[in-house]
Amino acid sequence: MSTAKASIGLDIKKGPILFIMILGAFLATLNQTVMTVAVPELMKDFDIVASTAQWLTTGYMLVNGVLVPITAFFMRRFSTRQLFQASMLIFLAGTIVSAIATNFPVLLVGRMIQAAGAGIIMPLLMNVILTLFPPEKRGAAMGMVGFAIIFAPAIGPTLAGYILENFAWETMFYGMIPLALIVILCGFVYLRNVSEPAPAKLDVWSVALSTIGFGAVLYGFSSAGSAGWGSAEVLLSISVGLVALVWFTLRQLFAKEPLLDLRAFKYNMFSLTTVINISVTMVMYADMMLLPLYLQNTRGYSAIESGLLLLPGALVMGFLMPVTGRLFDRFGAKWLAVIGLLITIGTTLGFVNLSDSTSYTYILLMSTARRIGMALFMMPIQTAGLNQLPQRLNAHGTAISNTVRQVAGAVGTSLLVTIMANRTATHAKDMAASGAASGLTKEQLINHATIEGINDAYLVIVAIGAVGLLLSFFIKRVAHAAEENAGDARKKVQVQEQA
């Protein structure tokens, strides 16, 4: 984004713009989180297993991850208002398809259409913040955004639980239709452009390579639960995906106008926080799939009880986000990240020994404490990296950051469900072979084995979190990179020639 475009944001009212865009982001996040407690119910209604049902979450994140790299192009080619309204209309279309779905494939298609719209909103919102606010004030702005975005996970599972207890699951989507319409109408009235469109050419080959790369890798991870890690299908999918991603990376590095400018990675703090984000995103998404499965499928809790358990932690996390933002502006991200990850890892250890008699109160307290840790590192880590980038790389930086988060969340969810499924099968065989299953019904045996499989998945989460913790000690507070204009570039050439 040029300096001229950035200056547009100085003469407009920030409040209405952020309010409308946060509403859109709230709906996108709410839509993702309502499915957490609905998955066990949908498994019964559609007669599908967990590794299939998790595609409602994984597929959503995959489309987000595939689409987000293109948002850097979209943010150059279209105005803020055009892009936001288009994304909300696509989201509305997907919501309608999901609401009228009569089988799992149609519901999955609807979810993926929703994701196509939602995938544009978050990078666009972050880019608007980077444009409207100077680096020293972005922490507070991100904190307010975090409060609004975290409020959706706070009410999402509980709201979904109430709906599933009293109405058909389709009601979740029918209820979102008027909310999406309200956001679209408000956008027409109040939303103003932060940037203006400029001519840009879409690199179709890069779009194809990123789609194939991310899609194939995720499909391989997701299929491993049923087909096995050694199957030709899994190995071929992951191999094709990795080759496509390498090709995509090389194409971006040598292209005159890359779809995703990977030169952002030459800034060391952006690169470090991006790697840390991979770890912490996997840690964050763990409960979205594992905890509802444990509570509803093995312990017999209702959907609303499962949702209510997640409510206190999400509320606490939401209220802490603005505080964390202000602390970040004052002290930086390092110790917020370290302390937050220590709390998160410590509380996650409390989930590695779950049993069929673990109390509801214990799980509630550990889950709530876990989210206190997440609130400390979530926005600071991401903002610390973006703050280092020059203005011209803001769109690409936000696109890269969100791509990494979405793909890490999707791969992490698939990986954890795969580990849970494989370890459940192993524990069931071991229990049967050792005689520990004597006196148990088949259903009881499966429940015991599933709980052990979930425990093993949580242990993997602890290991992933430990990697993020170790890297967090290297976070430093760095200066915002200066823009290099044409005059500066000419001076550098002259100096080099004189030398």
Q: What angle do CA 186, 187, 191 make, to 5 degrees?
A: 120
> Closest Cα partner for 284 from 193, 406, 132?
406
Q: Is the pLDDT of residue 92 over 90?
A: yes
Helices (H), 133-170: 138-166
Encode pLDDT of 157-170 as tens digits: 778 878 888 888 88
Looking at per-residue confidence, does 475 or 490 come out higher?
A: 475
- For residues 214 and 203, what is the distance between their CA atoms, to the nearest angstrom? 17
- Lowest-confidence region among 209-218, 245-254, 308-317, 432-441: 432-441
- For residues 161 and 155, what is the distance between their CA atoms, to the nearest angstrom? 10
Terminal-to-terminal C-alpha distance of the chain: 33
Looking at per-residue confidence, does 223 or 11 come out higher?
A: 223
CB-based burial of residue 320 (10 Å sphere; 0-12 exposed, 13-18 middle, 19+ buried)? buried
Encode pLDDT of 286-330 as tens digits: 667 788 888 888 888 887 787 788 788 878 887 888 888 888 888
Amino acid of residue 120:
I
For residue 418, what are its two tokens?
């795969």
> Closest Cα partner for 25 from 180, 140, 178, 155?
180
How large is the average pLDDT for residues 95-109?
Answer: 91
Largest alpha-carbon pair distance within the chain? 88
- For residues 275 and 34, what is the distance between their CA atoms, to the nearest angstrom? 28
CB-based burial of residue 264 (10 Å sphere; 0-12 exposed, 13-18 middle, 19+ buried)? buried
How large is the average pLDDT for residues 62-77?
Answer: 76
Helix (H, G, I), strand (E, B) or coil at 116: helix
What pLDDT sits at residue 492? 43
How large is the average pLDDT for residues 194-205?
Answer: 75
Indicate the domain borders of the chain.
3-193+257-483, 204-256
Contact 475, 271 (CB under 8 A): no
What pLDDT sits at residue 119? 80
Chain-centroid distance of CA 306 in Å reads 21
- For residues 289 and 310, what is the distance between their CA atoms, to the nearest angstrom? 12
- What's the CATH number for 3-193+257-483? 1.20.1250.20
What's the mean pLDDT when you consider all of the chain?
81
Helix (H, G, I), strand (E, B) or coil at 356: coil
Encode pLDDT of 16-28 as tens digits: 888 888 888 888 8
Encode pLDDT of 362-371 as tens digits: 999 998 999 8
How large is the average pLDDT for residues 251-270?
Answer: 85
Helix (H, G, I), strand (E, B) or coil at 200: coil
Contact 472, 334 (CB under 8 A): yes
